[in-house]
């Protein structure tokens, strides 16, 4: 920072506007470049066939059955987006989230089908129980407590079952203690040593997940997620969370949501220098869509500004519902 300030000549010799006069020159000195390679597209898998149901609070985002997911994945791949992340909504939910670690669960079936039809697409799975439990919590509930250690065992089972079905990477999103280590051990014991873990390392208890919970049908029936997700007021604690996940074997660490936590993202990237992901979540998407529909903002412009800002703050990877739109735009601009 200091070097930048001391090297700046003063006005009128220095005119910072000089380099802003043409688009060519602005392009030449641009510091941050967004690319389709940076993007990961989230997909919601539901049972059945020929199902493609729009999520009302997320225009352009659909719950899809496996056959439709395969078609969608072919499109995503054709746009130059390297990876998708799957979320599953099972036929039936129960207290222990059995659908999450069922060999024939929706995500497992999607993995097998997409691996066959679109082999070059990189397949990530969200590892959590909230979409699979009848109470909508991320783990086992006893009385008023969402218990940690028993839940972690089930998460490890879920991750293993995803790897067996063809997942290229698993992404635990629960925020329980010790889950990255447990998942690493389970994968290693079963010869999945080369399957990386992208941990939702600093995930906040956020109001911005509202539309996702409609998409994933995972709103908790009682209580909330504040006993495991982080307090929005904290950032030193995020550093401890990330450090712990790295120590347990996380290969990529994530900060989530993105926009209200760009300071956390910046700190995490600066401090650890790890491959870092940011999740541009459902509520961030929905706000842009809603305001654009009302004609209050320019959707494409705001989308690109948001994604560029997230990358500038330190994200190497961005999980975003805008992935297809942004990749399409970036291709047309080239
Ligand atoms: C949990 C999970 C959530 C999201 C991703 N994984 C929801 C939650 O913690 O309640 C939210 C993503 C979004 O809002 O886009 N499986």
Residue nearest to atom 10 of ligand 1 (CA): 209
As a residue count, the chain comes to: 334
Q: Is the Cα torsion angle 168, 266, 178, 140 positive or negative in sign?
A: negative
Per-residue pLDDT tens for 171-199? 999 999 999 999 999 999 999 999 999 99
My answer on whether omega of the bond before 257 falls inside 30° of 0, hence cis, is yes
Where would I find the H helices in 143-235? 149-165, 179-189, 210-215
- Measured between alpha carbons, how far is 141 from 295 in angstroms, rounded to an integer? 44
d(CA 56, ligand 1 centre) in Å: 17
DSSP 96: T
Say whether 289 is catalytic: no
In this prediction, residue 143 has a pLDDT band, given cuts at 50, 70 and 90, of very high
Q: What is the pLDDT of residue 236?
A: 98
Q: What is the pLDDT of residue 8?
A: 79
Contact at 8 Å (CB) between 100 and 154? yes
Q: Assess whether pLDDT exceeds 90 at residue 330.
A: yes
Residues ≥6 apart with Cβ < 8 Å to 101: 154, 157, 158, 160, 161
- Measured between alpha carbons, how far is 197 from 183 in angstroms, rounded to an integer? 8
Choice among 93, 203, 289, 324 that is catalytic:
203
CA 125 to chain centre: 10
Contact at 8 Å (CB) between 185 and 159? no
Per-residue pLDDT tens for 264-315? 999 999 999 999 999 999 999 999 999 999 999 999 999 999 999 999 999 9
Q: What is the pLDDT of residue 101?
A: 98
Q: What integer is the mean pLDDT of 304-330? A: 98
Per-residue pLDDT tens for 9-25? 899 999 999 999 999 99
Instruction: State the DSSP string of 276-308.
Output: EEEEE-HHHHHHHHHHHHTTSS-HHHHHHHHHH
Residues ≥6 apart with Cβ < 8 Å to 179: 152, 155, 156, 172
Residue nearest to atom 6 of ligand 1 (CA): 173
Q: Average pLDDT over the chain, rounded to whole?
A: 96
Say whether 203 is catalytic: yes
- Among 99, 208, 209, name the best residue to mutate to test ligand 1's pocket (greatest count of ligand atoms within 8 A of Cβ): 209
Per-residue pLDDT tens for 45-60? 999 999 999 999 999 9
CATH topology of domain 32-332: TIM Barrel (3.20.20)
- Among 84, 97, 130, name the best residue to mutate to test ligand 1's pocket (greatest count of ligand atoms within 8 A of Cβ): 130
Choice among 53, 93, 256, 324 that is catalytic:
256
Longest CA–CA span in the chain (Å) reads 70
- Measured between alpha carbons, how far is 84 from 30 in angstroms, rounded to an integer? 28
Half-sphere exposure of 268 (CA within 13 A, CB side): 36
**Ligand 1 in contact with 173 (CB < 6 A)?**
yes
Domain boundaries, the chain: 32-332
Residue nearest to atom 5 of ligand 1 (CA): 173
**Ligand 1 in contact with 161 (CB < 6 A)?**
no
- Among 131, 173, 204, name the best residue to mutate to test ligand 1's pocket (greatest count of ligand atoms within 8 A of Cβ): 173
CA distances from 314 to 191, 266, 298 (A): 33, 5, 25
When computed from its CA atoms, the radius of gyration of the chain, rounded to whole angstroms, is 21
Contact at 8 Å (CB) between 64 and 72? yes
């Amino acid at each position: 920072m200091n070097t930048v300030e001391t090297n700046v000549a003063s006005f009128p010799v220095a005119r910072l506007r000089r380099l802003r006069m043409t688009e060519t020159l602005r392009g030449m000195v641009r510091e941050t470049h967004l690319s389709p390679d940076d993007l990961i597209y989230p997909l919601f898998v539901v049972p059945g066939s020929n199902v493609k149901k729009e999520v009302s609070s997320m225009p352009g985002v659909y719950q899809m059955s496996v056959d439709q997911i395969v078609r969608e994945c072919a499109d995503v791949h054709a746009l130059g987006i390297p990876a998708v992340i799957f979320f599953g909504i099972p036929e039936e939910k129960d207290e222990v989230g059995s659908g999450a670690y069922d060999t024939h669960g929706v995500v497992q079936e999607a993995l097998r089908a997409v691996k066959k039809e679109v082999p070059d697409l990189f397949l990530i799975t969200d590892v959590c129980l909230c979409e699979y439990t009848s109470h909508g919590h991320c783990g086992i509930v006893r009385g008023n407590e969402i218990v940690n250690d028993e839940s972690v065992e089930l998460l490890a089972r879920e991750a293993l079952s995803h790897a067996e079905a063809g997942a290229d990477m698993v992404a635990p999103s629960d925020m329980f203690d010790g889950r990255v280590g447990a998942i690493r051990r389970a994968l290693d014991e079963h010869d999945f040593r080369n399957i990386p873990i992208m941990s939702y390392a600093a995930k906040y208890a956020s109001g911005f997940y509202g539309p996702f919970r409609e998409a994933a049908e995972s709103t908790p029936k009682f209580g909330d997620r504040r006993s495991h997700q982080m307090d929005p007021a904290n950032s030193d604690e995020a550093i401890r969370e990330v450090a712990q996940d790295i120590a347990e074997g996380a290969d990529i660490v994530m900060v989530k949501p993105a926009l209200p936590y760009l300071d956390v993202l910046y700190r995490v990237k600066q401090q650890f220098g790890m491959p870092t992901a940011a999740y541009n979540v459902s509520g961030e998407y929905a706000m842009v869509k809603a305001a654009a529909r009302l004609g209050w903002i320019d959707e494409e412009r705001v989308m690109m500004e948001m994604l560029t800002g997230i990358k500038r703050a330190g994200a190497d990877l961005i999980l975003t519902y805008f992935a297809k739109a942004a990749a399409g735009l970036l291709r047309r601009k080239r």
